[in-house]
Chain A
Amino acid sequence: MVGLTVVAAIFATLPLVLILGLLIQKGASSLSWDFFTAMPKPVGETGGGMANAMMGTLMLIGIASSIGLPVGIGAGLYLAEHRGTKIAFVVRFLSDVLNGLPSIVVGIFAWQFLVRPIGHFSALAGGIALAAMMIPLVTRATEEMIHLVPSSLREAALALGYPRWRTSLTVVLRTALPGIVTAALVAVARIAGETAPLLFTAFGNQFWSTSVNEPISALPIQIFTYAISPYDEWHSLAWAGALVLLALVLVISLIARFVTRSRFSGGHD
């Protein structure tokens, strides 16, 4: 019976090894300097890269983080400071519900709420959709991290005459900072690979764009478009894109682990 659990462990890790192995093999062989600097080329022309998609992914992460992080951290502070109240219970529960929503539902919400009234797809709408996915993750993690801060620290600051807001921001939040940085990185890693919400908001763009008000490309969108196309040329670019995207996500996740040195790690959200 012990053997069975070993077999389960082997079978569970096998797909990861297979996927990573092939991704490195196929992705590395189609990866070139052009991939990072060149624009996509039309079908039939060889070469071309995903410079615009990479820029787009960075911009979307930037927009999403600048909305999602402050809101998530603020909400986390509130939950930590109002533990035990009814409102905190409800907010906590609903934040878990929000976290469980399929990303595509968040996408169609952002489309109906932002894209349709404005009349066109935009990077901003994409960033807001991704922010909506970040908020519950950051909120819950911030709350957990703040809960780990000894209450004596807070009491000491208050006893010294610090106002509550300065106690919270400069003493409590600062002590919990490594944990919150980890949470922020985990959230960024999760949204960096999201595709479904972007189909309805950022939409994708064959051209270079840095405007928040226009459609923008992103690595996951570009990988999807190329993967389902019938052209071999595009397929190999999709593999290269997938390798770059996965490298980005893994590096962010590894930094996240490193920041807290496995003290707070424990896997799922």
Chain B
Amino acid sequence: MTHAGHDGMLQRCRTGRFPAHGLAVVMSMVTANLSGSSLDVDFMVRPVRRALARDLMLRSSARALLAFLLGVAVIVAVARLSPWQPPLPGTPLGWTLAYLAAVVVCTAAKVASTWPSAISAIRRTDQVFCLKDRLITAYEFRGATSEIHELQRAEAQRCLGGTNLAEAARMRLPLIEATLVVISGLLVAGAFWLPNTHATSHDASADTSAIRHAAATTSQVLKNLPRPAGQKAGPSEAPTADPVAQILAGLQKQLASAPSTTAALKSLSSAQSQLQNLQASGQAASAALQAMSQALSSGPTKPLAQALQSGNIAATQKAAQGLASQLAKMSAAQRADVASALERAANNAPSSLTQDLRQAAFSLSDDDLRAASQALASAAKQLAQQETQANSRAEASRIASQVQQIQSDLANSVTASPSNNDNKALSTPQNQPAVAQSAGTPGAGPTQIGQAGQQAQAAGTETNGQQSAAVASAASAQGTAGASAATSNGATGASASSKAGASSPSSASQSRGSSAVPGAGAGKSNANQNGRGSGATGSSGSGEKGQQQTVFVPSTRLSGPGVTQTGPLGSVVAVGSPAYKQLIARYGAAATAGLGNIALPPSLQAAVKRYFNDLQR
């Protein structure tokens, strides 16, 4: 019976008329009691008592829910609008659970204390059916035997007949309470829409910590850079002449002032680009020096050629000075040889050297020893710069791998934060092709990646998320001079034998395009703890059966015969086969070991193994 219905019935009671519409099916228990004078009122009103209990439970639950929702709304609002930190004890979830427990306990106690008794049910029945306290009187005087008490009980029984006692209790939640519950629910939902300063601050602090770590690592790398003789080592002192150091110093400053992880990652990417450019320029310089060395490798210029090949700046300068000093002692034929060699070298030299070398050659031809000496001295200076550039290539490669590691570490810490939406975009989705920051060591030339799908994209593709090793660029030698096993478990460029400046066998790989080698580059890069950025699914290998592709990996210069071959990326120099076999074995071993650490489907794992087996043949 609704509240309105109850009031209407009471109004009819006041007029003295018994509610006609309240008569319903006669309860069997009522008819059973009609015969005797004994009136078991308690038994008869049990349906009312049960209904009252249900009503009490319903209303209490609604009120408890209302109280809980309001409390949760307050807790969520506090947690959202202010960072949850001391002196507030516990966590918002802990407070919510404690509040829930308190609400439950209080509600249970309230329900227990107000559990409807027989008397309350009887009174309720009297009220609803306008029985004018007949039932309660009959119940209280149930033991009396006087005439009037008997008459009273009989009259109560008579009046009770034909009523549906279950209507005596309100069965429906009042509208106002239901409305308040809905409003409270909306308040809770609204509280969750409030800006989450807690998570933001937590993430901000986490991001700040990660950025600081990246900056500290960069500072350490800068500190560990080899210094020129006589320069004191120190974290704040960078060899100003060293371009790598300048890049690192700039990166350090940017990381120190990075407002967010995104900015920090961008700074790292920028530094990597600069290092790559440095690598490229160093590679070009190295190639030029190599060509010059070849041109000067005979006759009186042989010492100079050897010095150029060694890469020792001092030796090169000394050789150049020695050559200049020996010009006066040479015969005309020798001078002519020197002039010819210098002319040839000038043809292969960088533009900055060409003029000096040609001038030297021309002066020698004119027997102008003084001019020739001056030209040679000038050329020696230029040669020193070229050697510096060439030497910086290796360093740039090594530093680039370290910067890449810093970048991937920072990206990992970003993707580990669930609410850092800004950085979600930075993480590599699962189905993207292998993204590898390949800091391939430029040795004999740029990395030529076979037609293993989209490896070319992998090489040098810069991502700020999870870095997955472009295994397939198999050839993407990372980190150090060609000795890096490109396979990594998310950590990019974990090089097996990376040593700064080490001259190690360059990595050359040969990928044979075959249909059995899908997604060559991909393989292993899952890396992320939560599986994100597993990017390195790589692209399906598009190799054709039987077609052979040659992949060259830039590396440090090696002695020995080599073959110059023009590839799609320009001139390259192949490296020696023995070094390749050693390196590819390492690649294969690292790839196989890495397979156990990432979640690749078995088919892809088999493809990776097959790939490396083919490479090693």
Whether both chains belong to one complex is answered with no
